[in-house]
Chain A
């Protein structure tokens, strides 16, 4: 039996060692290092730690005065709140409608589809076709309906770029949240609704009194995912405008990337390459994630309903 225990111990150590190492090297070390770096002025990525100069909170102070940083945060906040509201309303709406359709499986899959497409390809589909001002879908569609003013909207122009990006991004996201919500709804026992029917409850009462409260845990997870996606918003911001760094569609992660690796077309930023300040942006993103966790856990409390 002693041999058995030893054997078991050996397995635990052998099986856990790789993932513990991966955590230390790939998750913990870089996180600490980035926080550390955010307090230094670091000329470029190749400069050794001995050449960094300590600046305290200066990087953070400078960031608050950087208009691009402020815009980038405004942008992701708009995505988080306005886009999030749209996505969750639509996801709930579709989930409820599909629940009663016979062709549920097909429509569920079709609405989910954008989630499996390479986002770069999605962006190209939207910017080069749907929003195209010469042969685009929206232009032809509104044109055919005689809605000339809608047909004339320059979707990819600077004034519209952010709205267009948000529409395109949210369109693709709806399916994912819809699937989660549908599964959560399936788990609620049918007799709850039957009881409510007997008591004469209407659809709205049933939705707000039964469906929503019983889905709380899953809803919290789903909202957390959405917030994480908004905070880490990068690809769309970078690919949508084509130039890589248009202030209209800029996100903090994208700004950070440009500060570290140098912007392609924006000399203004290339001159100010500052890895330390980039690290500071990373830290603000990390703090945002923690804030989201805390706020969501307070707002959507953890009490469990047994069913």
Chain B
């Protein structure tokens, strides 16, 4: 404020220049992102020949690239698979982690510190440490072929972060609410599901958003347990399109595939970007 009233001074120019430069870099950075995504979108509607000769869209919109990815490369199937894995696991992890987070937030019991430490450290355990024994265990249980395996694994891998996030959230819900429900004759368990759980919706929505993006984009476990064509997730499916593209050279369809993989989380992000931004910090700033 002071700067404006003091008029045009040398120090202002000195201050203006770095600020101006900073803004140019920010704009250039974002412009690059926009150009890359925009170019790929346009390329996905062109022919491969046009991509190579730098004449994008010359023959009009080639929606056939998209049709091809669905018919030839089975993207529809992968999409459905990803949706099934992600939605089921997102629901499952809330069902498991929300009650536990509530207990962690509100009750004192023997071993509570051990549980807290255990789950804090679980966030640091590399997936590489878990994958071999898990693969053997799943083999012993004859579950390698079941889609339930990957769903369960996604639930398990999401539990530490979900507990971490929701515990912080449940501490903000006043104890009086539970007391009131108990006086009304609810059992403890019923009081949680009927009264407290609905009040935790905002926290549950935020954490589910992160779980959704994380599971939708997951790669390592999908590579191990969903490599068969009919069980592949979109990420693994896209990789198989890349591999077949190195033989066919069908760039246009590849870019169409990229756009299909990109769209769901992109749309989610456009709708929820503010919630995501405040959510990231809600977790890490407190922690």
A binds B: yes
Question: Which residues from chain A sit less than 8 Å from chain B, CB to CB?
Answer: 4, 7-8, 10-12, 14-16, 18-20, 22-23, 26-31, 33-34, 37, 45-46, 93-94, 96-98, 100-101, 105, 107-114, 116-121, 124-125, 128-130, 134-135, 137, 140, 176, 179-180, 183-184, 187, 218, 221-222, 225, 228, 231-232, 234-235, 238-239, 242, 252-253, 256-257, 260-261, 275, 278-279, 281-283, 285-286, 289-290, 293
Given contacts A19-B96, A97-B22, A242-B246, contact A118 B262 (CB under 8 A): yes
**A29 contact set on B, CB distance < 8 A:** 133
B contacts, CB < 8 Å to A: 19, 22-23, 25-27, 29-30, 32-37, 39-40, 43, 51-52, 54, 96-97, 99-100, 102-103, 107, 109, 115, 118-119, 122, 124-137, 139, 153, 155-157, 159, 163, 182, 187-189, 192, 213, 216-217, 219-220, 223-224, 234-236, 238-239, 242-243, 246, 251, 254-255, 257-258, 261-262, 265-266, 268-269, 273-274, 276-278, 280-281, 284-285, 287
* A286→B122 CA distance, assembly (Å): 11
Given contacts A12-B103, A18-B96, A128-B254, contact A218 B22 (CB under 8 A): no
Residues in A with CB closer than 8 Å to B258 are: 121, 124-125
> Inside 8 A of B246's CB, which chain A residues have their CB?
242
Contact of B274 among A18, A26, A105, A119 (CB under 8 A): A105
Q: How far is A117 from B102 in the complex, measured between Cα atoms in Å?
A: 32
Write the chain B residue with the least CB distance to A228: B124
- In whole angstroms, how far apart are the Cα atoms of A110 and B269 in the complex? 10
Specify the main secondary structure of chain A where it touches its partner: helix
The 6 closest A-B pairs by CB, nearest first: A183-B281, A15-B99, A97-B22, A30-B133, A33-B133, A11-B188
The smallest C-beta distance from A14 to any residue of chain B, in angstroms, reads 7
Across the interface, A7 reaches (CB within 8 A) one of B40, B54, B134, B188, namely B188
A-B residue pair count with CB separations less than 8 angstroms: 254
Closest to A28 in B: B118
From residue B243, how far is it (CB to closest CB) to chain A in Å? 8
Judging by beta carbons under 8 Å apart, are B277 and A179 in contact?
yes
Min distance, Cβ B9 to any Cβ of chain A, angstroms: 16
Query: Which DSSP category, helix, strand, loop or mixed, fits chain B's interface?
Result: helix
Chain A: which residue is nearest B237 at the CB level? A120
Q: How far is the CA of A282 from the CA of B27 in the complex (A)?
A: 41
List the B side residues contacting A242 at CB < 8 Å. 242-243, 246
Known A-B contacts A124-B254, A184-B285, A275-B132; A285 and B126 likewise in contact (beta carbons under 8 Å) = yes
A282 touches B126 (CB 8 A): yes
- Once the chains bind, are B100 and A124 in contact (CB under 8 Å)? no
- Contact indicator A15/B103 (Cβ below 8 Å): yes
- A279:B132 contact, CB within 8 angstroms: yes
* Known contacts A18-B96, A118-B262, A179-B280: A110-B34 contact under CB 8 Å: yes
Instruction: Add 11 more A-B contacts to A18-B96, A225-B284, A260-B132 (CB < 8 A).
Output: A12-B103, A16-B103, A19-B97, A26-B153, A26-B157, A30-B132, A31-B129, A94-B29, A107-B30, A183-B278, A231-B126
Is the Cβ of B36 less than 8 Å from the Cβ of A113? no
* Pairs A–B under 8 Å by Cβ, sample size 19: A7-B187, A14-B99, A15-B102, A16-B109, A19-B97, A22-B96, A30-B129, A37-B133, A97-B23, A101-B26, A112-B277, A113-B269, A114-B33, A116-B266, A128-B254, A130-B36, A137-B36, A137-B39, A257-B223
The closest CB in chain A to the CB of B43 belongs to: A129
Among A23, A37, A134, A232, point to the contact of B118 (Cβ < 8 A). A23
**A contact residues around B19 at 8 Å (CB):** 97, 100
Q: Which residue of A7, A187, A282 contacts B132 across the interface (Cβ within 8 Å)?
A: A282
**B51 contacts A135, CB within 8 Å?**
yes
What is the CA–CA distance of A45 and B270 in the complex, to the nearest angstrom? 43
Tell me, rounded to whole Å, the shortest Cβ–Cβ distance linking B55 to chain A.
Answer: 10
- Do B220 and A118 touch across chains, with their CB atoms under 8 A apart? no
* Minimum C-beta distance from B222 to chain A (A): 10
Contact of A116 among B22, B235, B269 (CB under 8 A): B269
Chain B residues near A225 (CB-CB < 8 A): 284
Is there an interface contact between B128 and A253, defined as CB atoms closer than 8 Å?
yes
For A37, the chain B residues whose CB sits under 8 A away are: 132-133
Shortest CB distance B106–A (Å): 10
With A and B bound together, what is the CA distance between A282 and B129 in angstroms? 5
CA distance A250 to B216 in the complex (A): 24
